[in-house]
Amino acid sequence: MAHDGWTSADLPDLSGRVVVVTGASSGIGEATAREAARVGARVVMAVRDPAKGERVAATIPGDVEVRRLELDNLESVQQFGRDWSGRLDILVNNAGILMVPEGRTVDGFERQIGTNHLGHFALTSLLLPFITDRIVTVASDAHGRGRLDLDDINWRTRTYRADQAYSDSKLANVLFSFELQRRLVSAGRETRAMAVHPGMVRTNLFGHATGIQSVVARIAGRLVMQQPREGAQPTLFAATQDVPGGTFVQPSGRGHLRGLPSLGTASPLAYDRELARRLWDLSAQLTS
C-alpha cells in the first residue's frame, strides 16, 4: 500500500542538512541530488567522473559540491573517507552497475559485487562515525533472485553469469542494510539503515545489455519504465520520512515496477541473520 500518496513534492525542508549521494551524475542519483538540493540540503555528489559531475551540478540550483569517488577502487573509497570531516546527516548508497561483462575491479573483486556492495560497504564503514540520521542503500527486486555463494563471492571458480552476479550484489545490498540496522541498534545509535527498490527506471544502467536483454530493455522502457525522478522517490521517502530502520521501501504499483513509495517486504533470504553476519565478516575482511 502506498504511504498516504507521498511524492517528492512532500519532501520536508532539509536546510542545514548534509546529504552524500553516490552515483549522482546521472539517473536516480542525479534526481535524488537535485530534489534534496531543491529543499535546502547541502548535497555532496560522490561521482566517478568529477568533470561530468560538475556539468550536472551546474544545472542543479542550491548548495551542491562534487567529489571524486570510484567505488571499484578501495584506495579511492578510503581517500573519500579520509577527506571527510564535519557533519553528515544522510548517506545514499545509490551508484551501481548492472549485468556488465565479466571483469575485475582494481582490487580483484568481481565487478558487480565489488562496485555495488563492497565499495559501498567500505564507504559506509568509513563514514559511519559522522552519520547522524540514516543510510539508504538502493537495491533492486532482483535481490529476490540472489543466491550468494560466500565461498566464491568473486566468481573465481564458477562459470560467470552476469545476471546472477547482479542479483547476488543486490541481495548483498539488502543483507548489508538490515545487518547494519541491527548493529546500530546494538550500539545504541539512533542512526537508521534501510534499503529501497526503485522500480524499473530508464537509466544508463542498461547500456551494457546485448542481444535479447537489449530487446527486453527497449520494450520494457516503452511500456513500464519510469523516469529517474519517479525512480528516486523511494530513496527520498526512505531518506526523509519517519519510518523504522530496517525498512524495505518499494513502488506500490503492480509488480512493484512503478508507483508511489510504499513499505514492502524483501525476499526471505534477505532476513537470514546468519547469512548477513557471514557476509558482513567477509566484506570487512576483503575491504580492510
Residue 132 has pLDDT above 50, yes or no: yes
**How sure is the predictor about 1, in pLDDT bands with cuts at 50, 70 and 90?**
very low
pTM of the model: 0.91
Amino acid at 149: D
The separation between CA 204 and the C-alpha centre of its own chain, rounded to angstroms, equals: 15
Q: Give the single-character DSSP code of 12.
A: P
Angle, helices 273-287/162-186, rounded to nearest 10 degrees: 100
Please determine, for residue 218, whether its predicted confidence score (pLDDT) is greater than 60. Answer: no
With CA atoms as reference, report the closest residue to 35 among 26, 43, 25.
43
Average pLDDT over residues 190-212: 72
Q: Which domains does the chain have, with CATH numbers?
A: 8-287 (3.40.50.720)
Of 65-79, 170-184, 254-268, where does mean pLDDT reach its minimum? 254-268
Mean pLDDT of 275-287: 98
pLDDT of 223 > 60? The answer is no
Active site residues per annotation:
166
> What pLDDT band is residue 42 in, cutting at 50, 70 and 90?
very high
Q: How many CA atoms lie within 13 A of 94 on its CB side?
A: 34
Instruction: Decide: 268 and 276 in contact? Cβ < 8 Å.
Output: no
In this prediction, residue 216 carries a pLDDT of: 53
Of 137, 162, 108, nearest to 286 (Cα)?
108
| 259 band by pLDDT with thresholds 50, 70 and 90 | confident
